[in-house]
Amino acid sequence: MSEAVSALALAARTGQAGEEPAYDLIELFFFAYRDFVSDPDRILAEYGFGRAHHRILHFVARRPGMTIAELLDILKITKQSLNRVLKELIDKGYVEQRPGQSDRRQRLLWPTNQGRELALRMARLQTRRIARALAGDDGEEAIRRFLIGMIDPVERAKVRNRLSGAKLGA
């Protein structure tokens, strides 16, 4: 047990990383993500939605009252790209727009009940997969640290704020 640190983590520490690429982790990450997004895909198909709809709905449901600008910064896509998909979610009654209180140029995004339910349904499915992956394991904190570490340093602070501040923006 407690078998010191892996060669990779050690290499990172000493600064001499990159002898042998971490092929297994690279591929595991690919396979894990491939299947992770396949869960919601099945539900979305029932509604005639795609992955883009899921991403938007998820963040709107999690952070009610978000601005367009913040959503763009999270998704890293253009506003034209966002708008096409967002419009469908609004037309079909999953998301609503309300003018900002302090700044009336903003059109804050809110989930409808329908939207909240759909988002929750997909989150539950993904949670089931995560729970299964964690079953009987006590390394959850290590995983959290790892995932945070995978994020661009510049983005990391933003993500932390978003995670802790979620749902409080309401």
Between 107 and 114, whose beta carbon lies closer to a second copy?
114
Q: Is 53 in the site for a second copy (CB under 8 A)?
A: no
User: Which of 93, 128, 157, 161 is the binder for a second copy (CB under 8 A)?
Assistant: 128
**Residue 129: which of 46, 39, 28, 30 has the closest Cα?**
39
Q: How far apart are the first and last CA of the chain?
A: 45
Q: Calculate the alpha carbon distances from 139 to 28, 35, 57, 142, 147 in Å.
A: 17, 21, 30, 5, 12
Q: Is 143 in the site for a second copy (CB under 8 A)?
A: yes
b/e burial code for range 24-39 (CB count within 10 A of at least 16 → b): eeeeeeeeeeeeeeeb
Q: Calculate the alpha carbon distances from 112 to 18, 24, 91, 97, 152 in Å.
A: 48, 42, 12, 10, 32
Q: Least distance to DNA from the beta carbon of 27, Å?
A: 16
Q: Six-digit token pair at 121?
A: 């349904």
Q: Is 123 in the site for a second copy (CB under 8 A)?
A: yes
Interacting partner of 93 out of a second copy, DNA, none (Cβ under 5 to 8 A depending on kind): none
Q: Beta 95-99 vs 107-111: how paired, if at all?
A: antiparallel
Interacting partner of 43 out of DNA, a second copy, none (Cβ under 5 to 8 A depending on kind): none
Q: Least distance to DNA from the beta carbon of 85, Å?
A: 5
Alpha carbons within 13 A on the beta-carbon side of 130: 12
Q: Is 34 in the site for DNA (CB under 7 A)?
A: no
Interacting partner of 120 out of a second copy, DNA, none (Cβ under 5 to 8 A depending on kind): a second copy
Stretch that binds a second copy, among 17-25, 64-72, 90-98, 109-117 (CB under 8 A): 17-25
Positions touching a second copy (CB under 8 A) are: 2-6, 8-9, 11-13, 17-18, 21-36, 38, 55, 58, 62, 76, 120, 123-124, 126-152, 155, 159, 162-163, 166
